[in-house]
């Protein structure tokens, strides 16, 4: 089983490297958004699109096991989106994403969001060719998630704590959560946002702008 896993990941890494080369050559910033189901990932994405679409060309790759509901929500904003249904698969892989990039053909110097399948385990191991993994954790989840799912938070460059408008009604300990995240990844950056109210989103947009190719 170990040999099979290594073979799968090695093949995936080859496709990821090809994706990364293609994206970097065109000055496209690709962000891989990862989270458990219900974190508010799609709400954050649609809000971000509405606020950013006047600044950069945007495109979205949507990953779900079934349905095109999220891609339909994205297309309703006027931004091109391509749906990948993984069936029984629990994550996107670089080969799937490479085909999606070909289908979308995003503009040079654009921002490409990849919304991964809701899962804090499998997507951690699969490089898609993205510039950064962004882990979204809502405060309606446990503040110990970074310790329970360390591979994901170790792989992420940024953790977004979403739904902070609900903190007055919850027992979620923000400082403890951040401490746990930095135990597994001392370099991880953290932003606190509410996709619904807009609180903290200026920090998220500034983080993106700093990484857009000049």
Q: Determine the pLDDT at residue 1.
A: 47
Asked if 83 and 64 touch (Cβ cutoff 8 Å), the reply is yes
* Distance, first Cα to last Cα, the chain: 44
Q: Determine the pLDDT at residue 3.
A: 55
Alpha carbon distance 52, 46 (integer Å):
10
User: Residue 89 — pLDDT band, cuts 50, 70, 90?
Assistant: confident
* Burial readout 117-131 (b: 16 or more C-beta within 10 A, e: otherwise): bbbbebbbebbbbbb
Rounded CA Rg of the chain: 16
pLDDT at 5 over 60: no
Burial of 66 from C-beta contacts in 10 A (0-12 / 13-18 / 19+) = exposed
Number of domains in the chain: 1
Alpha carbon distance 29, 6 (integer Å):
28
Q: Determine the pLDDT at residue 136.
A: 98
Task: Tell me how crowded residue 45 is: count the other CB atoms within 10 A of its CB.
Answer: 24
Name the most confidently modeled range: 59-73, 85-99, 105-119.
105-119
Q: Which residues pair with 116 in a beta bridge?
A: none
Q: What is the CATH number of the domain that holds 122?
A: 3.40.50.300
Q: Is the dihedral of CA 8, 13, 15, 19 positive or negative?
A: positive
User: Residue 170 — pLDDT band, cuts 50, 70, 90?
Assistant: very high
Residues 63-76 pLDDT 10s:
988 877 888 989 99
Look over the chain and give the mean of its residue pLDDT values, rounded to a whole number: 94
Q: Determine the pLDDT at residue 188.
A: 98
Range of the domain at 157: 2-211
pLDDT above 90 as % of the chain: 88
């Amino acid at each position: 089983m170990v040999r099979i896993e290594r073979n799968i990941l090695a093949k995936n890494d080859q496709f990821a490297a090809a994706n990364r080369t293609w994206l970097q050559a065109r000055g496209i910033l690709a962000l891989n958004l990862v989270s458990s189901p219900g974190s508010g990932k799609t709400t954050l994405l649609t809000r971000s699109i509405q606020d950013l679409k006047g600044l950069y060309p945007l495109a979205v790759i949507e990953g779900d096991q079934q349905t095109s509901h999220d891609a339909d929500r994205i297309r309703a904003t006027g931004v091109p989106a391509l749906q990948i249904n993984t069936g029984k698969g629990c994550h996107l892989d670089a080969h799937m994403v490479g085909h999606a990039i070909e289908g979308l053909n995003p503009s040079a110097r654009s921002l490409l969001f990849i919304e991964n399948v809701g899962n804090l385990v499998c997507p951690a191991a699969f490089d898609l060719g993205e510039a950064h993994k962004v882990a979204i954790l809502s405060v309606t989840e446990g503040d110990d998630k970074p310790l329970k799912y360390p591979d994901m938070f170790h792989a992420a460059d940024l953790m977004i704590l979403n739904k902070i408008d609900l903190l007055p009604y919850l027992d979620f300990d923000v400082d403890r959560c951040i401490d746990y995240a930095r135990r597994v990844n001392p370099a991880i950056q953290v932003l606190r946002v509410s996709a619904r109210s807009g609180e903290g989103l200026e920090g998220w947009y500034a983080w993106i702008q700093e990484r857009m190719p000049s």
